[in-house]
Amino acid sequence: MSFRLRNDAEKWFNEIEGELGLKFDIYYFCLMAGLAAVRRSPLTAADKPAFVDDFPGDYKVQQNLLLGGLIDAELRSQLGRGIGNADRPIVQKVVSQLLTASGASTHLSSGPEGGATRMNEYASGGFDVLFEQIPDKPRRLETFLRSYAKVIGDLESERQKAEDACAA
């Protein structure tokens, strides 16, 4: 199992899909929103199976950064903070849980706790965020890119504020 997209996400993006060129673009926009908001939600059996098995096109170059982002998000979610000196075992555990060297070419492990499922959940959670933050479905790429960048920026400052409040 590799990258899966929610049916409603695919539908929401359908007017700019032609301009995007890659279906993975939709997945990526959702994923980055999910990682920025640290939000996950499960897919259901009603959602379509994997639409692509590997990072396509330009994204192959970004593969390692996205994997790193997933590990970072997962560690933050489990530790509730940055990594400390005593966290070596948990880092090893998370890394071996999410990644596989010998399995898929994505290096994402399979199974219900594996990296592929986890990444799909962040993409799914990210779509929820986009749907909440952007009132109209995207109709033109040039408009969407700008509103999307703004949403990511807003999510970041929100997270920052929340973390500052926690730290204070």
Partner 1 sequence: MVQVRLLGWKAAGLRCPDHEIDLTRAGGEPHHVSLIQMPNGTGKTTTLELLRAALSGPSAWPDSVMLGEYAPRGATGRGTFEVRLRVDKRRFTIEMALDFDEGKPYYRTTWTSSVARFTRPPSLSRVLTPEFTPFFIFDGEMAQDLLDPKKTRARQALEVQFQLSNLLRFQGYLDEYWDEKSRNVSAKGDKGLTQRKNKLADLTKRRDRLKVERTGLVKKITDLEARHTKLDAEYKARFDQDSKAQEEREHLEKEFERAKDNLATIATSSLSEARKPQNLSPRFTRGLQALRDNLDRLKLPESAAKEFFDELAHDAHCVCGEEMTEARKASILARRQNYLGKEDMGVLNAIKGAIKDMAGASPESYREAFEANLLRLRNAVRERDVAQNELASLEQRRLAGGDAELSTLKTQLDDLVRELDTARTRLSVLDMDDDGDQGDDTDSIKALAKKIKRAGDLVAEATQTRDIRLKTTILKRVISAAVTSASERIAQELVAATNKRLEGILTRSPLRVADICDSVVLDGQTRGSPGQTLALGYAFLLGLFDAGQVSLPFVVDSPTGALDKNVRREIAELLPKISQQLVAFTTSSEYEQFVPVLDRAAQGDVQYLTMFRLNDATRPLLDGLASESVALSANGALVSSKQFFQGFDSEAYGESQPARAA
The footprint of partner 1 (CB under 8 A) covers 7, 11, 19-21, 25, 28, 32, 35-36, 46, 58-59, 61-69, 71-73, 75-76, 82-83, 85, 87-89, 91-92, 95-96, 99-102, 107, 141-143, 145-146, 148-149, 152, 156, 159-160
Rounded to a whole number of angstroms, the minimum distance from the CB of residue 100 to partner 1 is: 7
- Residue 50 or 65: which CB sits closer to partner 1? 65
Give 99's strand partners. 108
Give CA torsion, residues 129, 123, 64, 20, to 10 deg: -90
Rounded to a whole number of angstroms, the minimum distance from the CB of residue 160 to partner 1 is: 7
Tokens of 140: 């033109």
For residue 57, the SS3 value is coil
Rounded to a whole number of angstroms, the minimum distance from the CB of residue 73 to partner 1 is: 8
Cα 143 to the center of its chain, rounded Å:
22
Residue type, 13: F
